[in-house]
Amino acid sequence: MEEVSSLLVRLNLATRQYHADVDEPWLALLRPSVGIADYVATLIRTYGLVAPFESACKYTPGLLELLDFRQHMRAGLIAQDLLALGVTPLQVATIETCPTISIFPTVANALGWLYVMERSTLLHDGIRRHLQRDLWQLDRACAYLRACGAHVGDRWAAFGRLLDRVGRDPTTANEIVHASRDAFGICGRWSRLQAKQARSTG
């Protein structure tokens, strides 16, 4: 049996009070009355976080030497799904993004954020299967949810090993945990703001 990452366990425990808030937009897609418009809104909201996060990672000193970031780049897949659902290229290009996310000062800071982003992938396959069962039209618009597929467990374990390697130093581990808490807070506030704006314009 593969050893569980100690830093992943610590992160899960240290941030558990934020999990429900950040998971809610995706878990809401499991309700019986969900429609395509709900899925589009969730993709747009997610793109607003993922796109600036990926841009910030590209310019974080030392991060790209530490991991193959290409496998973590999924903003393009969200755009692909939105286009397949009838959102125009201009609309995709002008999606509002979270202004709070900027270049991360350290690798540890970026990894705290990456924990938040990668953790969300644990939900994706179940949500995809539910949506495709009830809304067959979405089969061509699930590239983002399908990105990790059957390998999500392996990817999560590999990420845990990376965290343990980088976080061997207690100061670095503490920085990763602190950054993950900040990231959860920002993501939660972003989701609530976007939901509020959608209600006011709907």
Residue spans of the domains in the chain: they are: 6-197
Superfamily of domain 6-197: Heme oxygenase-like (1.20.910.10)
The pair of three-digit structure tokens given for residue 40, joined into one six-digit string:
């589009």
- What is the average pLDDT value for the chain, to the nearest integer? 92
Residue 71: the pLDDT is 83
* CA-CA-CA-CA dihedral for 107, 111, 112, 113, to nearest 10: 110
pLDDT single digits (tens) 157-183: 999 999 999 999 999 999 999 999 999
Q: Which residues of the chain have pLDDT under 70?
A: 1-4, 200-202
Residue 146: other Cβ atoms inside 10 A? 15
Residue 96: the pLDDT is 96
pTM given for the model: 0.92
Among residues 101, 92, 88, 90, the alpha carbon closest in space to that of 49 is found at: 101
